[in-house]
Amino acid sequence: MGAVSLRAAMDGGRVSAADLMASTLERIGRINPVLNAIVALRDADALMAEARAADGVPAEARGPLHGLPMAVKDLVGVAGIRSTWGSPILAGNVPSQDDMLAARLRGAGAILIGKTNTPEFGLGSHSTNPVYGVTATPYDLARSAGGSSGGAAAALAARLVALADGSDMMGSLRNPAAFCNVYGFRPTWGRVPVDPVGDTFLHQLATDGPMARNIEDLALLLEVLAVPDARLPHGRPAEPFRAALDVAPGPLRIGWLGDWGGAYPMEDGILSLCSNALAGFPDAVVEDVAPPIDAARLWQSWITLRSWAVAARLGIFHADPAKRALLKPAAIWEIERGLALGAMDVHRASVIRSEWNAVAAGLFRRFDLLALPSAQVWPFPKGWDWPKSVQGHEMDTYHRWMEVVVPASLLGLPALAVPVGFGDAGLPMGVQLIGPRGADAAVLRAGQVWHGATNWPGRMPPPL
């Protein structure tokens, strides 16, 4: 059952929070050991006591996530739960208070059972770290669940939880959704607030967002997370995202960008699967679109702004030699690259971003949505560091193999990763449906149409 269905069942007395918790813990005990999706799982007796207490809350006092077991991505501090960011530097960290996202989940009635696995500090789309190890996709236990929200996506696909939070700087809600046959929604940047710590003006790349097995559940969690905070300068008003799903989007015009004119190498079968799936989008006209801007310039802008942001966030660990020795090489490379940048380097990168924004605005006058594959590779062996080449093209950074997510991330556009089926090897894949800034509700409405016509998560659960 999905989150909305479970909430209705609890309110109707057909399911208790205690029943749900017992079922959740039993399934995690059976299935999680082969997936490694959920980490830092809390004591079962404490969780059952919390669930029984939830059953005693009057219906009128229940929040939108009342009684739902949720594991929070391990890039979020949660009071009383080991919160490591996948780093040995923070391996013993147990916060005394919740970060904003965790506090909002608790405030909405969710029961926080533990964490979901992620790469170290969320760097890279492969959920492996020296604290907890690697997470597998439930569709092939020898292959990666993606990342950085890989633990969340795998837990959802395996029916360990009904709903999950994730975050996305460079595809971290989209790649794992594709690798695990679920939905991941990157909202418009600024839609979901974060703790107002440090700079709140300059860095506009990363955002939190929801993951689920259906669109109504995505909208439910987005409403909980997307409440503006006056301490942040780029917020957006709250919206009734679930109610918006009841409004049919009407005929859709979708611009298919494919592999960006060959700039984004794709493993065999991905482009054809994605384009053939889009051709069946109900009540939509799909048109091929030539590359609207040079991909190399977008990449230059992206890696400059990303390295700058990573250095600003993690430079404090790099500055301490003892902690630097515990960072993975990719993190050190990214931080040092960011520390070497000058102000004009950042300015030039933002000029390219501004040019792309103007070009994209023109595209959205022609199309309601733009579409790209959610990933350039199928789920890869979980023992890899990352894919070092794609179709004979050598990858020159630890994240170049996921370049296809950059166009949406660079502009902070709403992007919904939808499942589109399976390749010849039985591995899942997805497509990004990208809307103009602020059009989150419209993108979710389109996703609702897609889900109604396909329901890949329901049709093809993993063979566990």
Secondary structure of 338-373 as H, E, C letters = HHCCCHHHHHHHHHHHHHHHHHHHHHHHHCCEEEEE
Q: How far is CA 275 from CA 60, 85, 390, in A?
A: 47, 36, 19
| Residue 172 is a catalytic residue | yes
Stretch (H or E) spanning 431: strand 428-434
Tally of residues, the chain:
464
Q: Which residue has the tokens 């993993």?
A: 462
- What is the three-class DSSP state of 184? strand
| Residue 73 is a catalytic residue | yes
pLDDT tens digit sequence for 76-124: 999 999 999 999 999 999 999 999 999 999 999 999 999 999 999 999 9
**Residue of 400, 364, 189, 349 lying closest to 292 (CA atoms):** 364
The conformation of residue 401, written as its DSSP 8-state character, comes to G
Q: Spot the catalytic one: 125, 172, 374, 409.
A: 172
The domains of the chain are located at 3-459
411 close to 353: Cβ distance less than 8 angstroms? yes
Reading the block at residue 85, the tokens are: 């960011």
> Across-strand partners of 166?
209
Q: Spot the catalytic one: 127, 148, 301, 409.
A: 148
pTM of structure: 0.98
- Rg over alpha carbons for the chain, rounded to the nearest Å, is 21
Residues of the chain with pLDDT under 70: none
- What is the three-class DSSP state of 151? helix
Q: Which fold has domain 3-459?
A: Amidase signature (AS) enzymes (3.90.1300)
Phi/psi for 120 (5° steps) reads -55, 120
pLDDT given at position 407: 98
378 close to 267: Cβ distance less than 8 angstroms? yes
pLDDT given at position 167: 98
